[in-house]
Amino acid sequence: MSQQPRLTDADVVQYLQDHPDFFIGKDDLLAELRVPHNSGPATSLVERQLSVHRERNVELRQRLSDLLENARRNDQLFEKSRRLVLALVEADNWLGVQAALDDSLRKDFGVDAWAMLHFTERNLDAPLVAVRNAELQRSIHRLFKGHRALCGQLSQQEIALLLASPATEARSVAAAQIRGQGNNGVLTVASNDPGYYRSSMDTLFLDYIADILALRLPQIPVA
């Protein structure tokens, strides 16, 4: 008498994969099945499937919530950026640009400190900041290490250099170079929180404002 071939686990798995509707109409069988897992004692297959679906639904809801929150933040950032760009366009001199930046960065973006350095030989009246010394300009450029922008923690001396203020409480900064035609400089924002600006953060917004300044400043008089 020939021996019946013995089914292996792999045979069962393959059969169920080939017949995904096998359990349709077999509710009694489903109720008797037990699938042990790490969260506790054995449970029925239906209960386990429901549990998996619930976990996935929670994960999907969290992802959707994150997407909506990001969209809300992006909308707020766009509106703040829009107001700042319009103010920069309406400014009729460099002091007007300085005032527009100060109003937006402090009120809308809540920075603790900021500065715009102008690499120029002109004598500029406060609050405009002129960096006339060529070696000092090179020292500032070296902080960027060949990049357009920088973000994160720097030494107190380096932060003071970017803010043109030796008596600063700032502990982290984000800065972008202003590269205009015959008009260069640096725009820096700073926080007293050492972890507020991190090297992993995107500087797209600051780059964008620096580009606007590079185009706008040469178009209007200093005073």
Looking at the predicted structure, is the pLDDT value of residue 2 above 60?
Answer: no
Query: Would you place residue 11 in the very low, low, confident or very high pLDDT band (cuts 50, 70, 90)?
Result: confident
Of 87-91, 161-165, 177-181, the one with minimum mean pLDDT is 177-181
| Together in a domain, 119 and 64 | no
Residue 2 maps to a domain: no
More confident of the two residues 46 and 178: 178
Query: Would you place residue 105 in the very low, low, confident or very high pLDDT band (cuts 50, 70, 90)?
Result: very high
Give the model's pLDDT for residue 34.
Answer: 63
The strand ranges marked E within the chain are 34-37, 40-44, 113-119, 129-130, 149-152, 172-180, 183-191
Q: Which of 73, 90, 107 is the last residue of a domain?
A: 90
Q: Could you report the per-residue pLDDT of 76-90, keeping only the tens digit for each? A: 888 999 999 999 999
Give the model's pLDDT for residue 67.
Answer: 87
Residue-level length of the chain:
223
| Together in a domain, 99 and 207 | yes
| Together in a domain, 198 and 98 | yes
Domain that includes residue 82, residue range: 7-90
Using the CB atoms, write b or e for 22-52: b if 16+ within 10 Å. eeeeeeeeeeeeeeeeeeeeebeeeebeeee
| Together in a domain, 158 and 104 | yes
Total count of domains within the chain: 2
| Together in a domain, 97 and 156 | yes
Q: Which of 59, 90, 121 is the last residue of a domain?
A: 90
| Together in a domain, 106 and 178 | yes
Give the model's pLDDT for residue 24.
Answer: 77
| Together in a domain, 202 and 126 | yes
Give the model's pLDDT for residue 42.
Answer: 52
Residues with Cβ within 8 Å of 180's Cβ and at least 6 positions away in sequence, in order, are 213, 214, 215, 217, 218
Is beta strand 172-180 parallel, antiparallel or unpaired with respect to 183-191? antiparallel
| Together in a domain, 86 and 96 | no
Q: What is the mean pLDDT of residues 40-61?
A: 73
Residue 147 maps to a domain: yes
Residues with Cβ within 8 Å of 38's Cβ and at least 6 positions away in sequence, in order, are none
Instruction: Report CA-CA distances (Å) from 16 to 9, 132, 151.
Output: 11, 78, 54
| Together in a domain, 40 and 141 | no
Q: Which of 39, 68, 90 is the last residue of a domain?
A: 90
More confident of the two residues 22 and 212: 212
Residue 127 maps to a domain: yes
Looking at the predicted structure, is the pLDDT value of residue 147 above 90?
Answer: yes
| Together in a domain, 20 and 97 | no
| Together in a domain, 178 and 165 | yes
- Structure tokens belonging to residue 59: 């994960």
What's the CATH code of the domain at 124? 3.30.450.40
| Together in a domain, 201 and 129 | yes
Residue 212 maps to a domain: yes
